[in-house]
Amino acid sequence: MKRENCVSMEFWSCSANEGFARSAAACFAAQLDPTLEEINDIKTAVSEAVTNAIVHAYPDTIGKISMRLSLLEGRCLEIVVKDRGVGIADVAQAREPLFTTGSEERSGMGFTIMESFMDTLKVRSAPGKGTVVTMRRKIARRASR
Amino acid sequence: MPIRCTEEGRTLTAEVSGELDHHAARAVMEELDRQIDLTLPRTLVLDLNGLAFTDSSGIAVLLRAQRRMGQIRGTMRVVHTPDQAGKVFQAAGLERMIRFE
């Protein structure tokens, strides 16, 4: 799919950046004139992806997370969240609802929420190398304008 | 602290406001635990009226509060759930485990 616009950013895996990342994604998505519900879905999915990287990719250190926001042709928003952390040994297992290796603060629902709030979710990971989460969501044109 | 607790009779009402993500969740959980231990309520009412945003961290907070109330043989209900939070909780099937009003 042809890329029509793109923003890339890199930030440290500090939990304070969760709010920054989802707000940045919401600001970028605004050019598609989404509904409030669509904006909230995008913010929620980004929050999950970035929190996963902060909590799981770099459990004992501060590492770098990159996020690339793209507008693809056909009003499709693509969000890529990438880390160079510990990676996921079994991606299929990690995507199962309620599965978590985290503490009691984690519910194990992160991937389930990303899946249900976005149109597509792709997870590529290699232990010791890191994880790339790619999510896409098409934003419908609003007729009543 | 995005949580404010008031006690009336044996009911503890906790108003959670702002953005409840992983960054904020630990402080909210700790304050809820502390208030429950302090007041030993029969009922915990979680008022989410001022909650601007949550993600799966909110699910963990609700499940933990419910478990704590179960340990002291109390009950919990969640009121004034905003649409965004409701959609997150629904995706997790939380309405099967927690009383929403």
**Which amino acid, one-letter code, is at A100?**
T
Model confidence at B93, pLDDT cuts 50, 70, 90, reads very high
Query: What is the average per-residue pLDDT within B25-33?
Result: 95
Is A106 a catalytic site residue? yes
Q: Confirm or reject contact between B59 and chain A (CB < 8 A).
A: yes
Of the residues A68, A106, A124, A136, only one is catalytic, namely A106
Residue A8 sits in which domain range?
3-138
CATH number at residue A50: 3.30.565.10
Q: Give the pLDDT of residue A97.
A: 82
Domains: count for chain B? 1
Q: Give the pLDDT of residue A144.
A: 59
Residue B92 sits in which domain range?
3-100
Q: Are strands A76-83 and A64-72 parallel, antiparallel or unpaired?
A: antiparallel
Which residue carries 């607790």 as its tokens? B5
Interface of A with B (CB under 8 A): 15-16, 18-19, 22, 37, 40-41, 43-44, 47-48, 51, 54-55, 97, 104-110, 112-113, 116-117
Interface test with A, best of B55, B81, B87, B96 (most A CBs within 10 A): B55
Average pLDDT by stretches of 10, chain A with 145 residues: 96 96 98 96 98 94 97 97 95 84 78 96 96 97 71
Contact B60 A106 (CB under 8 A): yes
Measured between beta carbons, which residues in chain B are less than 8 angstroms from residue A118?
none
Q: What are phi and psi of B50, to 5 degrees?
A: -95, 10
pLDDT digits (tens, 9 = 90+) for B66-83: 999 999 999 999 999 999
Measured between beta carbons, which residues in chain B are less than 8 angstroms from residue A51?
21-22, 55-57
Tokens of B23: 């960054």
Calpha distance B82→A37 (Å, rounded): 12
Domains: count for chain A? 1
| ipTM of this predicted structure | 0.93
Query: What is the average per-residue pLDDT within B58-70?
Result: 96
Q: Confirm or reject contact between B67 and chain A (CB < 8 A).
A: no
Q: Give the pLDDT of residue A100.
A: 79
Calpha distance A133→A118 (Å, rounded): 12
Of the candidates B53, B63, B83, the beta carbon closest to that of A107 is on B63
Q: Give the pLDDT of residue B1.
A: 61
Q: Are strands A120-126 and A130-138 parallel, antiparallel or unpaired?
A: antiparallel
Contact A105 B59 (CB under 8 A): no
In 3D, which of B49, B21, B84, B27 has the Cα closest to residue A20? B21
- C-alpha torsion A57→A10→A38→A99, nearest 10: 0
Closest residue of B to A111, CA-based?
A: B56
Q: Give the pLDDT of residue A103.
A: 72
In 3D, which of A46, A68, A45 has the Cα closest to residue A116? A45
Asked whether residue B43 carries a pLDDT value surpassing 80, the answer given is yes
Asked whether residue B50 carries a pLDDT value surpassing 90, the answer given is yes
Residue A7 lies inside a defined structural domain of this protein: yes
How many interface pairs between A and B have CB atoms less than 8 angstroms apart? 74
Residue A145 lies inside a defined structural domain of this protein: no
CATH number at residue B52: 3.30.750.24
